[in-house]
Structures are given as structure tokens and as C-alpha cells.
Structure 1
Amino acid sequence: MCRNITELRGLEPPATSDEVEAAAQQYIRKVSGIRHPSAATEAAFEEAVATVAQATRELLGVLPQRRQPPSTVPPLRRPEVIARMQGR
């Protein structure tokens, strides 16, 4: 459904909390159609992100290890993204 969400299972080192949160936020943005929540939608948006992030952590915790790492590097591990975030 959302091509921008990167696989987190099998990363070395394992997915960080920030990576899980970013994936959850991207998913909620996609399904809700809300890129920037308003004051009226912010609480529901943040609660949904937290719920999806927790479910993701639980899922990653019980899945077996992968034989190979994912074919793509998560955005928060890409040098150009890190540089852009540091330049804010």
C-alpha cells in the first residue's frame, strides 16, 4: 500500500525507536490523508501513531530473524537524510 515505508525487520543494528516511529507516522499519514495534523486532529493522529508504533515493536519482537537484510536502507540511516536533518 505505501511504497515509502521501509522494511524494518532484519536490520543490523536492529530498528531504532526513531525508525519505528517514522514508519508509524508515514503509515498514519497515508491512511488518514493528513500530512500535518490540525489542532482538531492532532490528538487522534498522535494516538494512532503511538498505537501503530507499539504494534510494530511487538511484531518485530516476535518475528523470526531474516536470512538476508532488507534490500533498502531506511531513510533515517541514509547519509543525505541525516545531513538534511542536521541542517535544520
Structure 2
Amino acid sequence: MAGVALANGLNANQVHRWMRERGIVPPSRRTPVGVGLNALAEPGFVAVQVAPGVEASVIRVAAQRGNARVKLEWPLQAADACGAWLREWLA
């Protein structure tokens, strides 16, 4: 939490106070029983629903890796190529 606070120009104590005031329990540093560290680090599939009536002909992606930021538009017809490029860039 301290790293997140510092990255956003905040004091970690202030973030803890805000969480406490809102009844939010800070995340535990302990690994859940039966879950290895590799299982926690693996990316998962995130399903995205597109609202009805929204025309999607272009994939728009904003990604960051370290200090490098990328914003791109990719034709929907080449979605598989977009996925392959993203996997390569984020690896």
C-alpha cells in the first residue's frame, strides 16, 4: 500500500486512515492457503461486455509497461494479431 500511495503522491498513513474511515480492510500480505505465488502472478481472462448499439470496428488499447506507455488503435478484423502483439509486448 505504501508503494501505491507514494506513486500517487500520497502519504501511506493518510491512505490507511481513509480506508479505516470507510470500513475498508487493507489487503493481507499473507498468501491464501493452497495458492502458490505463481498462481497469484498469472494473468487471467477478463470478459468485457459491449453495450448494445455500440459500433466496434476498432480496438483501442492503452497499456503501460514500466515507463513506456502505448496507445493504439487496431482494426477489429485483426483482433488475433492485436492479442499476439500485446502478449509479446507485455511479456
| TM-score, normalising length: structure 2 | 0.25
Which has the larger Rg?
A: 2
| TM-score, normalising length: structure 1 | 0.25
Higher helix share: 1
